[in-house]
Amino acid sequence: MVVERWLPIRWIHGLVAATIGGALVATLGVVGVVTATSASAGTGATTTPPMGWNDWNAFGCNVSADLIEKTAKAMVDDGMAAAGYKYVNIDDCWMDGNQYPQGRGPGTTTDPRRATAGRVDGHLVADPRNFPGGIRPVADYVHSLGLKLGIYESAGATTCQGLAGSYGHELTDAEDFASWGVDYLKYDNCGTVAGTADNQAEYIARYKAMGDALKQASADSGHAIVYSVCEWGNYEPWSWAADQAEADLWRTTTDISDSWASTVSLFKQNVVLSSYSRPGAANDPDMLEIGNGGQTDTEYRSQFSLWSMMAAPLISGTPLAEAGGKSAASAATLAIYENSDVIAVDQDTLGAAATVYSHTGKQWTLVRPLANGDEAVLLFNESDAPTTQSVSLPAVLGPAKSAYLARDLWAHSDATVAGTLHADVEPHGVRMFRVSAGATPSDAAAHVTLSATARNTYLESGTSTVLSETLFNDGRDAINHAIVGLSAVPAGWTVTPLAPAGRSVPGQSATTATWRVSVPAGTAAGNYAIEASAAYEGRGGEPRTTMSTITIVVPPAPPTTTAYLSDVNWVSVSGSVYKDQQVSRGIPSALVIAGQTFPKGLGASSGSDVAYYLGGHCSTLSVVAGIDDSASTSRGTPTANIAIILDGVPVYQGIVTKGTAVPLTQQIAGTTVLELSVDPSTGFGSTPVDWANAQVHCS
């Protein structure tokens, strides 16, 4: 089957289920999409992805009536409720038994009183210290504010913190939740039940048992309860949770952590499941970390945009109220959570999650059809360098009436585009648009983008490079009196014009200026910003300006002999990486793999990336990779995915397993930047990974 590239995505969505695996996938470059089953199901309690808050990410087991009530009040006062967030969700540890020593992971508990204290006469009881009146008054208070209350249980013998689980008590628990006024249940997957199988049929049976119980309890009480399945994507819940367990949403991944690596990893695992999304049935790549401090606001805006494109639940996991020793969310954090343009995409009633329209290297374009015929378009730059990305709107939407109207959902501005849309995208950032092919308002300005690039972004002191500045006019009409220039250059650097840009730029075209930029000898290593700017006349002759910043890295001196990487200064690092030692759970120790101690090397961990500037001076990297012996085996033998990346290209990818040292020799001739990277953990917590004896041979 041949599908032309210009087919509007709306039509393509209709075709996906029928043609996946065939020509359509190849034509559109959609990666690894899995197809959905038939009709929608769920409880009917919600038709759009739930929006709300959950205590787990920020407070762990420190949950209480006070925290929940303060948070609910804050949600009303800070605009979250008005923005659409209505579920205030209690996670694990609300039950009696929390006063005994904590469990150490799925199904384990250090104290048997923990699991049994949670029930009296077969009924769950809340921790009397933290919920003195039980759950009901908390629900009443939350309801009095116009919000809804969520609660947590587990489908096994215990919760993940070793408290009483719901296995065998499903109907009693569901009836109790309904009678307390609970509106939402997150149903977890901890607590091994002796004698039961670990397979999909058993999972379906367990989750269906609670689905049936909730249905019964809802019918008895006349009170609908949203059902959130949380089995971490173990047995493909997207293929059965809605239809067989009557769930409204299901986790597709293990737990999120507040790191960029985790955000990207969960996005990639979830986006391929888009065809399972429909009204009342949502893929859940876990909660939002926005505001928790481990990522930049750019990265948090990306999480919010990616999750909204994927029609994911928007459940904030950050403190909203001043409570439990933590401060309330900042204005910057609330501005992300309360972006109504982006929320409208998430909550769109068509319920069709975004598909990957194109994916090249670390640049992604996602497209999501919306109920009114618009399309949401997301340009996502997963990489560490700024990019200019583009998408052909005729290919996405079909022909426009006059021009396309593109609303920038973070800048909240409208602009016209005649054909191709260009946008500057920050490292780890997104540009998100809502695009319409209908008639455009006659006064909307053209979409104009200034993109600045350097031939080399790593520039040793005393050298120079060519810098290009391109002004894209995506509109229909020409822009006039354009001046493309540099508005700020680091002191002492010299700039020589090479070729000027055009003064008039016709619609759907671009003009480029080039410069030679020289870094004086003796410039200290560091990141230096150059500001590019352009001025031009708008349609009515009004003056307009646009700017773009480019960062030049003056690297530390590259090694010129054989050197241990732990003796070379890195140019960038993310996650934790230590020199000549490992630090696991806060405790420093020597680097030890399979009983062998290494005095030199890097003690890294899952979700880390360290980069070195080699400037083309080195020929070979030798390293012994492995899981450090300090890694815990309480959840099985730890493994990690590791990679050696040369100038952005992974040249070695492998898995290391505790107990085995992996000696590696990698040719690195001509490499400018070497990266050693460890994927985020796919299980619980972080795993210590050693790059022992890491050495580069240079001249």
Q: Considering only 158-166, 500-508, 511-519, 527-535, which stretch makes contact with ligand GAL by CB under 6 A?
A: 158-166
Q: Which residues contact 178 (CB under 8 A, 6 or more apart)?
A: 214, 217, 218, 220, 221, 223, 225
By beta-carbon proximity to ligand GAL, the closer residue of 157 and 417 is 157
Site string for ligand GAL, 334-373 (x = CB under 6 A): ----------------------------------------
Catalytic residue among 91, 92, 127, 188: 188
**Which residue of 109, 161, 451, 605 would you call a contact of ligand GAL, by CB under 6 A?**
161
Q: Which residue's C-beta sits nearest to ligand GAL?
A: 160
Nearest-approach distance from CB 594 to ligand GAL, in angstroms: 31
How many other CB atoms are there within 10 angstroms of residue 667's CB atom? 12
How many amino acids of this chain bind ligand GAL (CB under 6 A)? 10
Q: How far is the CB of 160 from ligand GAL (least distance, A)?
A: 3
The DSSP secondary structure of 140-201, one letter per residue, reads: HHHHHTT-EEEEEEESSSB-TTS-B--TT-HHHHHHHHHHHT--EEEEE-----TT---SHH
| Cα–Cα distance measured from residue 185 to residue 268, given in angstroms and rounded to the nearest whole number | 26
Closer residue to ligand GAL in complex, CB, 51/602: 51
Based on CB atoms, which residue is closest to ligand GAL, 159 or 566? Answer: 159
The question of whether 188 is a catalytic residue gets the answer yes
CA dist., res. 569 & res. 565, Å (int): 8
- DSSP symbols for 531-577: EEEEEEE-TTS-EEEEEEEEEEEEPPPPP-S-EEGGGS--SEEES--
Candidates 545, 603, 549; CA nearest to 576 is 603
Stretch that binds ligand GAL, among 159-167, 220-228, 412-420, 508-516 (CB under 6 A): 159-167
CB of 57 to ligand GAL, least distance (A): 8
Q: What is the DSSP string of 570-619?
A: -SEEES--EESSEEETTEEE-EEETTEEESSEEEEETTEEEEEE-TT-EE
**Distance of closest approach, residue 96 Cβ to ligand GAL, in angstroms:** 16
Among residues 681 and 693, whose Cβ is nearest to ligand GAL? Answer: 681
The reply to whether 188 sits near ligand GAL by the rule CB under 6 A is yes
Residue 53 in contact with ligand GAL, rule: CB under 6 A: no
Q: Does 393 engage in binding with ligand GAL (CB under 6 A)?
A: no
Instruction: State the minimum distance, in angstroms, from the CB of residue 232 to ligand GAL.
Output: 6
Q: Which are the contacts of 121, defined by CB distance < 8 A and separation ≥ 6?
A: none
User: Going by C-beta distance under 8 Å and a sequence separation of 6 or more, which residues neighbour residue 66?
Assistant: 130, 323
Tell me whether residue 183 or residue 675 sits nearer to ligand GAL (CB atom): 183
Q: Which is nearer to ligand GAL, 91 or 170 (CB)?
A: 91
Q: Which of 451, 432, 450, 434 is nearest to 302 (CA)?
A: 432
Q: Enter the tokens of residue 241.
A: 């949770």
Q: Which of 53, 56, 100, 167 binds ligand GAL (CB under 6 A)?
A: 56
Q: Shortest distance, CB of residue 91 to ligand GAL, whole angstroms?
A: 5
- Catalytic residue (one of 255, 258, 414, 629): 255
User: Hey, how many other C-beta atoms are within 10 angstroms of the C-beta on 460?
Assistant: 18
> Rounded to an integer, what distance in angstroms lies between the CA atom of residue 322 and that of residue 337?
17
Question: Which is nearer to ligand GAL, 159 or 511 (by Cβ)?
Answer: 159
Among 138, 160, 320, 356, binds ligand GAL (CB under 6 A): 160
Tokens of 579: 């020199």
Query: At its nearest, how many Å lie between ligand GAL and the CB of residue 498?
Result: 55
Nearest to residue 290, comparing CAs of 324, 262, 323? 262
What count of residues does the chain have? 699
Among residue numbers 190 through 219, which ones bind ligand GAL (CB under 6 A)? 190
User: What part of residues 77-116 is at the interface with ligand GAL (CB under 6 A)?
Assistant: 91-92
DSSP state of 10: H
- Taking CA atoms, 377 is separated from 36, 112, 380, 507, 511, in Å, by 22, 52, 10, 21, 25
Residue written as token pair 């920050």: 426
Residue 170 or residue 188: which is nearer to ligand GAL going by CB?
A: 188
Judged by beta carbon, residue 67 or residue 230, the one nearer ligand GAL is 230
Q: In this structure, which amino acid lies at residue 225? A: I
State in angstroms the smallest separation of the CB of 161 from ligand GAL. Answer: 5
Per-residue contact string for residues 229-268; x = within reach of ligand GAL by CB under 6 A: -x------------------------x-------------
DSSP 440-461: PPTTPPBPEEEEEEES-SB--T
Residue-wise DSSP of 283-326:
EE---B-TTSSSS-HHHHHHHHHHHHHTT--EEE-S--SSBTTB
User: What is the token pair recorded at 269?
Assistant: 């695992």
CB of 92 to ligand GAL, least distance (A): 4
Rounded-to-integer distance, Cα 678 and Cα 522, Å: 34
Q: Cβ of residue 254: shortest distance to ligand GAL, in angstroms? A: 7
Q: Which stretch binds ligand GAL (CB under 6 A): 156-164, 338-346, 468-476, 584-592?
A: 156-164
Query: Residue 61 or 495: which CB sits closer to ligand GAL?
Result: 61
Smallest separation (angstroms) from ligand GAL to the CB of 351: 24
Q: Is 255 annotated as catalytic?
A: yes
Candidates 45-53, 157-165, 432-440, 548-556 — which segment interacts with ligand GAL by CB under 6 A? 157-165
Bridge partners of 499? 514
Beta-carbon neighbour count of residue 112 at 10 Å? 11
Beta strands in 321-429 (DSSP E): 355-360, 363-369, 375-381, 387-392, 404-408, 413-417, 420-425
Cβ nearer to ligand GAL, comparing 310 with 505: 310
Binding site for ligand GAL (CB under 6 A): 56, 91-92, 159-161, 188, 190, 230, 255
Catalytic residue ranges: 188, 255
